[in-house]
């Protein structure tokens, strides 16, 4: 019998995502001026206030308040009527130095001996149902909100949009796990005041269906466009009015959208958040490495769908386990345990090896903090950082290195594909 599966995404203006973006902007600035910085930054946003907390060990100093304000303004919170603005909000910093008890387990005589920054398990996932090896419902949800943000900034076609928004997509699958059609799309977007609530709802629904959705479809291959039939159930701003939003409507915290950040409920999640954490924290670095492993295995043809789990003990160099689940989609004559063993020999999952392989001690994290950490295109960019304490620097960095298919040939050779 056919079944339904749903994933959601949230916009860059969602309170939790504002917090993530501030935390990662702080991390990037520390890493730009001191690549060996150890950072764990948490952010709280609420009406007119930003609170920064956490632990940092670094040889540099950054202007935390200015960075937070810049992020908020860039997202689009620039007006007094939003009750939250980068120019007027209060910014309180409660950040202090990293615990020596934690640091002694991470820093060792040589970098190769670097232990994991914490215990825990991390997951990576990949599937052939999209070109970027991501779950389809999540991929479409992200694209809906990225296009919506573009329309907000453009301002011409949908001029009333405000930064806060959420999207949700439900897809019908056949018994053999093939997407058949899009069943439901939910979009809730913050907006300016209208003279009439009835006219407001009608206008927003019409614009979402007839302006936004066609722009989203253009970004998708023809095989996915066919899933957009005339029988989609649309729920557009189903609660009605959505003028009050952002941190004035709901408080936001770093790390509260971990499923949006990863695979939209497909596969699994170990529970650790990403944003604000330097790569010595395996919550982040090992999750990226597990995605890199899963994606390259699937792209090489080992299986149509793969989940990778890796686990660590704090201060210990080698992972405590590596697990692979192919969901019975394997294309090789091996058990999942045998696939895991061969994969672990190909991909060095020690913390420092991950940092080196994926170039994680670079200021590459602001770009991850909205619309998902996985599924983006790896690319090289030049980033500029300015500080009243450290001057101005330009750094060429490679973004989303864990999305590269740079191990496919080695995987094929190892698995005889």
Check if 257 is active-site: yes
**17 labelled catalytic:** yes
- Report how far residue 207's alpha carbon sits from residue 377's, in angstroms, rounded to the nearest whole number: 29
**Is 96 noted as a catalytic residue in this protein?**
no
Tell me, yes or no, if 195 is annotated catalytic: no
Is 165 among the annotated ligand-binding positions?
yes
* 143 is an active site residue: no
28 is an annotated ligand-binding site residue: no
Strands 49-57 and 38-46 turn out to be: antiparallel
Single out the catalytic residue among 38, 142, 248, 281: 281
Q: What are the tokens at 279?
A: 């790569």
| Nearest in space to 56 (alpha carbons), one of 85, 76, 29, 30 | 30
The verdict on whether residue 98 carries a ligand-binding annotation is yes
Q: Which candidate in 30, 33, 84, 242 is catalytic? A: 242
Q: Which of 69, 166, 266, 269 is catalytic?
A: 166
Q: Has 341 been annotated as catalytic?
A: no
**What element of type H or E holds 342?**
helix 336-346
Active site residue 55: yes
To the question of whether residue 176 is assigned a binding role by annotation, the answer is no
Active-site annotation holds for 248: no
40 catalytically annotated: no
Question: Cα angle vertex 325, ends 323, 375, to 5°?
Answer: 95
Residue 261 assigned as binding residue? no
**242 in catalytic set:** yes
Phi, psi at 375, each rounded to 5°? 90, 0
Residue 99 region by backbone torsions, left for phi larger than 0, else alpha for psi between -120 and 50, else beta: beta
Q: Is 352 a catalytic residue?
A: no
Q: Binding residue per annotation — 273? A: yes
C-alpha span between 330 and 417 (Å, rounded): 12
**Catalytic option among 283, 355, 367, 403:** 283
Q: Is 164 annotated as a binding residue?
A: yes
- Active-site residue, from 36, 53, 55, 299: 55
Q: Which residues of 341-367 are buried (b: 16+ CB within 10 A; e: fewer)?
A: ebbbeebebbbbbbbebbebbbbbbbb
Told to judge if 218 belongs to the known catalytic residues of this protein, a careful annotator would answer: no
Binding residues: 14, 16, 42, 55, 98, 164-166, 241-242, 250, 256-257, 273, 277, 281
Binding residues for K(+): 42
Binding residues for ATP: 14, 164-166, 241-242, 250, 256-257, 273, 277
Binding residues for Mg(2+): 16
Residues classed as catalytic: 14, 16-17, 42, 55, 166, 242, 250-251, 256-257, 277, 281, 283
């Amino acid at each position: 019998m056919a079944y339904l599966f749903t994933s959601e995404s949230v916009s860059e203006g969602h309170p939790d995502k504002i917090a993530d973006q501030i935390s990662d902007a702080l991390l990037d600035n520390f890493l730009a001026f001191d690549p060996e910085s150890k950072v764990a930054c948490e952010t709280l946003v609420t009406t007119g206030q930003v609170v920064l907390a956490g632990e940092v060990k670094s040889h540099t100093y950054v202007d935390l308040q200015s960075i937070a304000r810049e992020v908020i303004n860039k997202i689009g919170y620039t007006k007094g009527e939003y009750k939250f603005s980068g120019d007027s909000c209060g910014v309180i910093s409660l950040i202090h130095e990293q615990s020596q008890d934690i640091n002694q387990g991470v820093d060792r005589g040589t970098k190769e001996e670097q232990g994991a920054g914490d215990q825990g398990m991390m997951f990576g996932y990949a599937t052939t149902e999209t070109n970027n090896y991501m779950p389809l419902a999540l991929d479409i949800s992200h694209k809906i909100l990225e296009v919506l943000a573009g329309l907000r900034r453009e301002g011409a076609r949908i001029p009333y949009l405000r930064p806060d928004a959420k999207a949700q997509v439900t897809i019908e699958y056949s018994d053999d796990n093939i997407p058949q059609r899009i069943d439901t799309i939910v979009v809730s977007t913050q907006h300016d005041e209208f003279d009439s609530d009835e006219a407001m709802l009608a206008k927003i629904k019409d614009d979402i269906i007839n302006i936004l959705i066609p722009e989203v479809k253009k970004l998708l291959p023809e095989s996915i466009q066919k899933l957009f039939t005339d029988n989609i159930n649309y729920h557009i701003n189903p609660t009605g009015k959505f003028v009050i939003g952002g941190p004035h409507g709901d408080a936001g915290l770093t790390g509260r959208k971990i499923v949006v950040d990863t695979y939209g409920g497909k596969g699994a999640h170990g529970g650790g958040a990403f944003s604000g954490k330097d790569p010595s924290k395996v919550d982040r670095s090992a999750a990226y490495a597990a995605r890199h492993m899963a994606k390259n295995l699937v792209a090489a043809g080992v299986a149509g769908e793969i989940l990778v789990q890796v686990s660590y003990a704090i201060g210990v160099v080698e992972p405590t386990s590596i697990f692979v689940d192919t969901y019975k989609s394997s294309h090789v004559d091996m058990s999942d345990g045998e696939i895991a063993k061969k994969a672990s020999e190909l991909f060095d999952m020690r913390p420092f090896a991950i940092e080196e392989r994926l170039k994680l001690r670079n200021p590459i994290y602001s770009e991850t903090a909205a619309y998902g950490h996985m599924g983006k295109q790896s690319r090289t960019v030049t980033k500029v950082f300015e500080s009243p304490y450290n001057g101005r620097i330009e750094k060429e960095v490679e973004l989303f290195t864990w999305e590269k298919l740079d191990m496919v040939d080695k995987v094929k050779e190892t698995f005889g594909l």
